[in-house]
Amino acid sequence: DTEVTQTPKHLVMGMTNKKSLKCEQHMGHRAMYWYKQKAKKPPELMFVYSYEKLSINESVPSRFSPECPNSSLLNLHLHALQPEDSALYLCASSQEPGQGRIYEQYFGPGTRLTVT
């Protein structure tokens, strides 16, 4: 099974709302990622978790708060977002990269977020 699932598929929220995006994988991967993708652009890395610990934060505003409750789950908590945060949010997972090793990332279908 090489599936990464994401919920919800679509989300509309106001600028004062609090919502969460969820991602799940059952491939035994120990690295998980959040990306943001604007229309007609490549994905931009937001966060990387390695063994349930945050290892990379690409200077993402604090209104985005990631959480990794266990090795299979990754959440992205959203609060006080701006309209420019509207985008497709993609989750991915991979085996943990190491010295001399590169593993492909498997992507979920994404959550289409609209901030009104």
Partner 1 sequence: AQSVTQLDSHVSVSEGTPVLLRCNYSSSYSPSLFWYVQHPNKGLQLLLKYTSAATLVKGINGFEAEFKKSETSFHLTKPSAHMSDAAEYFCVVSLSGYSTLTFGKGTMLLVSP
Residue 52 to residue 32: CA distance in whole angstroms: 8
Backbone angles phi, psi at 84, to 5 degrees: -70, -10
CB 108, min distance to partner 1, A = 5
Beta bridge partners of 20: 77
Q: Is residue 98 a contact residue for partner 1 (CB under 8 A)?
A: yes
Between 33 and 64, CB nearer to partner 1: 33
In whole angstroms, how large is the CA radius of gyration of the chain?
14
User: Residues 50, 57, 65, 72: which binds partner 1 (CB under 8 A)?
Assistant: 50
Q: Does the footprint of partner 1 cover residue 110 (CB under 8 A)?
A: yes
Cβ within 8 Å of residue 101, ≥6 positions away: 95
**Where does this chain bind partner 1 (CB under 8 A)?**
4, 6, 31, 33, 40-43, 45, 48, 50, 55-56, 88, 90, 92, 94, 96-102, 104-110, 112
